[in-house]
A = this chain, B = another copy of it.
């Protein structure tokens, strides 16, 4: 089963890459629709799945209800905003953590690990400051 570079697939990939963000399927759907108004959400889902299986993009499972997709397939970690759920990359030294950091090693056959920071993103910090100012005045 070989991949075809259809118009919709190309636009989806382009939009994800140029966004430089970690978008959900429906965020991407919104962007892609501007170029291709008749595209269906199912097509976006199917392509994101296909592209991530092919290793062209990465599917990331982060706290929150929706899956997000990453244009960057290098191993790296993420930080997400607890308020708006935006996700950004962080570069945490790989190798800092290893199986040997585990006391009480589980009898699992380890395949990997993920580190996920949480916090408040700059835009939300700004929003909070404004809201607070309003309250006071």
Contact = CB atoms under 8 A, between A and B. Distances in A.
Given A61-B63, A82-B111, A122-B108, A93 B88 contact: no
Chain B CB within 10 Å, residue with most, of A115, A117, A120: A117
A32 interface: no
A109 B101 CA distance: 26
How many protomers of this protein does the assembly include? 2
A67 B121 CA distance: 24
The 9 A-B residue pairs with the shortest CB-CB distance in the complex, in nearest-first order: A108-B119, A61-B63, A110-B119, A109-B120, A113-B117, A107-B122, A114-B116, A111-B119, A91-B104
B111 A102 contact: no
Contacts of A97: 92, 96-97, 115
A44 B119 CA distance: 29
Interface residues of A, number: 35
Contacts of A7: none
Contacts of A82: 111
A50 interface: no
Contacts of A43: none
Contacts of A81: 108
A125 B109 contact: yes
Contact of A116 (B109, B113, B119): B113
B112 A114 contact: no
